[in-house]
Amino acid sequence: MTIQAADSCTVDGRNWLVMDWAGDRACVPGNASMGFDTVAPHTGNWSGRIDHFYMVDCRLMLFKMEVLLAPEYAGFVPPGARREVVLRGDWREAYSGDHQYREFIERRTEYFVFDDLQVAFTGRLHLGHPDRDKWQRPWPDRAPQLPPYQHFSLDFGDENEPHRRTLHFERGRLVA
């Protein structure tokens, strides 16, 4: 099976990919508990959903869900959320026989955005930045100096793995 598209977590304004959950992830609301069903747009997103988390006041919050809803749920919005639709498009070259033309391909992304949905996760959240280009990843030399997390037990890695972080949670709060 193809690996699921990674969730993300924003910490101190920097976006990380969630590489692994070491703990009980059942606290993250599932599709059934939210009242909808998704479809898989491709094998890299077989769940039909990508979650985006963020840290605020040392709490893990579910900020938004990127979803592809099943057709029967068109227009549905879960309780406590609002819908955001992003339309993007690209021109691409297409060919028909020996005729070349340009066509516009529209991409629609739907999000459910939450204002205050804390996730009561207990365990370790392993974060990473897959791009080894230093320009594209969060600055590891600045990360330990950023408040308010410097007094907590973040694993800021070493010079060989500066693009990896581990956050330790107890019932959704960052702990020492």
Question: Is 83 within 8 Å of 112 (Cβ atoms)?
Answer: yes
Global confidence as pTM: 0.73
Question: Is 114 within 8 Å of 64 (Cβ atoms)?
Answer: yes
Task: Tell me the mean pLDDT per 10 residues along the chain, length 176.
Answer: 77 85 90 88 78 92 91 90 91 88 88 93 87 51 44 45 81 87
Instruction: Give the 3-state secondary structure of 62-116.
Output: EEEEEECECHHHCCCCCCCEEEEEEEEEEEEEEEECCEEEEEEEEEEEEEEEECC
15 vs 130: CA distance, rounded Å: 11
Question: Residue 93: what residue type?
Answer: E
Question: What H or E segment, with its residue span, contains residue 20?
Answer: strand 14-23
Domain regions of the chain by residue span: 8-174
pLDDT for position 51: 92
Question: Is 111 within 8 Å of 84 (Cβ atoms)?
Answer: yes
99-114/8-11 β-pairing: unpaired
pLDDT for position 160: 52
Give the DSSP letter of residue 21: E
Question: Is 153 within 8 Å of 176 (Cβ atoms)?
Answer: yes
